């Protein structure tokens, strides 16, 4: 019997951008050739996306033939590399029985957590728990190995990396600017935690590959042989020009143009509509952040500093933009001050924010202070009159 750890290169879809891990069991005597895959999920459930936003993601261990597994990756032009594990007969039988048992209906489902319990984590743990001696991993962060499993060599680039750094490597390689902005916006400060060596190995497929490649069980190396099962040239998505930074910078320029042409009645009306749409959008984003912070069962969206520029209370304030309520001018003054503090502290912030937030902060400062000034000047004219 031969047992291999399969590492699959990243795909073009968002869910596949970080690659994949599976375990292959092959027995030439019986003709058995099965791939065990912890990355199976059912997106046909009408409540799938509701559960997804709450972090209630049930994944399962599935078993398929090696041929079926490889057909999918060949179709998607994704490379697959195998590490044949140096296990004793007893360890192989124990690992096979553990995998077979975990495919039973009562065992196959598990609660998926993006950072700490995903398909790579499960594959690593079941291998580790069925070896006679504990696996010892070398530090995977220093780039001291010429072995590169897939096209994501740059993903393993040095010590001191946070979870966000690791994710960014893949997103930036594929020019996924909008998904990167969304992840940075919705996932909180916990994404800036720097994982330990073992946490990094358990996190992403390429890290597990590198960790396993240097692992030892007692005096023996864990990997007996490496095989390239599928090899495709690295393909990268073309960088689009319409990035979040471009979009919000253009929005900033537009708001500035509106301001300097505000003597026109039509421009004044346009600014009013712009402010209403801007703060409505920010308020809705803030409500989403609050829901993700409080509603998810995990903590990946908690402690999100972005909520300070996307205040949920904006959704109420927009209906008072044209009102003369005394508190509204102070509301927008406070909003401008908060945004200014975030802008000043951007390089030193408690949480790493996406750079596309910079023009958003300038827009908020610009428009909030203008709304405060309009009401403050109107009050002075009333007093003088």
pLDDT of residue 383: 40
Taking residue 58's Cβ as centre, other Cβ atoms within 10 Å add up to 15
pLDDT of residue 235: 67
Strand, coil or helix: 272: helix
CB 119 within 8 A of CB 39: yes
pLDDT of residue 233: 83
Token couple for 306: 């972005």
What does the alpha-carbon distance between residue 199 and residue 193 come to, in Å, rounded to a whole number?
11
pLDDT of residue 374: 79
pLDDT of residue 156: 46
Task: Give, rounded to a whole angstrom, the gap between the first and last alpha carbons of the chain.
Answer: 94
Strand, coil or helix: 265: helix
* Per-residue model confidence as pLDDT tens digits over 347-376: 887 899 999 999 999 999 999 998 888 777
Residue ranges, the chain, pLDDT below 50:
143-158, 381-385
Q: Please list, in sequence order, all residues whose beta carbon lies within 8 angstroms of the beta carbon of residue 378, skipping any fewer than 6 positions away.
A: 324
CB 156 within 8 A of CB 210: yes
Decide: residue 213, CB within 10 A, 0-12 exposed, 13-18 middle, 19+ buried: buried
Q: Tell me the sheet residues that pair with 8.
A: 20, 80
What does the alpha-carbon distance between residue 369 and residue 303 come to, in Å, rounded to a whole number?
27
Decide: residue 222, CB within 10 A, 0-12 exposed, 13-18 middle, 19+ buried: buried
pLDDT of residue 167: 93
């Amino acid at each position: 019997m031969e047992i291999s750890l399969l590492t699959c290169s990243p795909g073009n879809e968002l869910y596949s951008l970080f690659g994949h891990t599976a375990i292959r069991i092959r027995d030439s005597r019986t003709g058995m050739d099965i791939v065990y895959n912890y990355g199976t999920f059912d997106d046909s459930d009408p409540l799938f996306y509701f559960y997804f936003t709450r972090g209630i993601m049930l994944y399962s261990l599935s078993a398929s033939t090696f041929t079926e597994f490889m057909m999918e990756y060949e179709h998607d032009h994704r490379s697959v590399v195998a590490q044949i594990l140096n296990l004793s007969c007893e360890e192989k039988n124990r690992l096979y029985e553990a995998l077979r048992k975990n495919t039973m209906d009562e065992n196959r489902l598990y609660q998926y957590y993006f950072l700490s319990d995903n398909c790579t984590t499960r594959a690593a743990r079941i291998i580790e728990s069925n070896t006679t001696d504990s696996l010892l991993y070398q530090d995977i962060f220093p780039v001291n190995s010429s072995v590169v499993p897939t096209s994501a060599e740059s993903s393993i680039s040095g010590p001191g990396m946070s979870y966000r750094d690791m994710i960014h490597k893949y997103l930036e390689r594929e020019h996924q600017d909008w998904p990167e902005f969304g992840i940075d916006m919705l996932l909180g400060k916990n994404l800036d935690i720097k994982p330990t060596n073992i946490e990094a190995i358990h996190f992403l497929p390429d890290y597990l590959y590198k960790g396993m490649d240097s692992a030892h069980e007692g005096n023996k190396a864990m990997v007996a042989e490496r095989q390239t099962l599928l090899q495709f040239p690295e393909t990268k998505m073309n960088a689009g020009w319409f990035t979040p930074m471009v979009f919000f910078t253009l929005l900033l320029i537009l708001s500035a143009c509106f301001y300097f042409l505000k003597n026109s009645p039509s421009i004044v009306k346009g600014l009013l509509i712009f402010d209403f749409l801007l703060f409505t959008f920010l308020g809705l984003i803030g409500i989403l952040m609050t829901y993700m912070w409080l509603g998810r069962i995990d903590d990946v969206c908690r402690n999100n500093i972005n909520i300070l520029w996307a205040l949920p209370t904006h959704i109420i304030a927009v209906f008072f933009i044209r009102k003369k309520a005394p508190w509204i001018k102070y509301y927008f003054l406070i909003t401008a001050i908060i945004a200014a503090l975030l802008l000043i502290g951007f390089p030193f912030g408690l949480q790493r924010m996406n750079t596309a937030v910079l023009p958003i902060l300038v827009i908020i400062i610009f428009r909030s202070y203008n709304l405060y000034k309009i009401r403050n000047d109107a009050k002075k004219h009333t007093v003088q009159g």
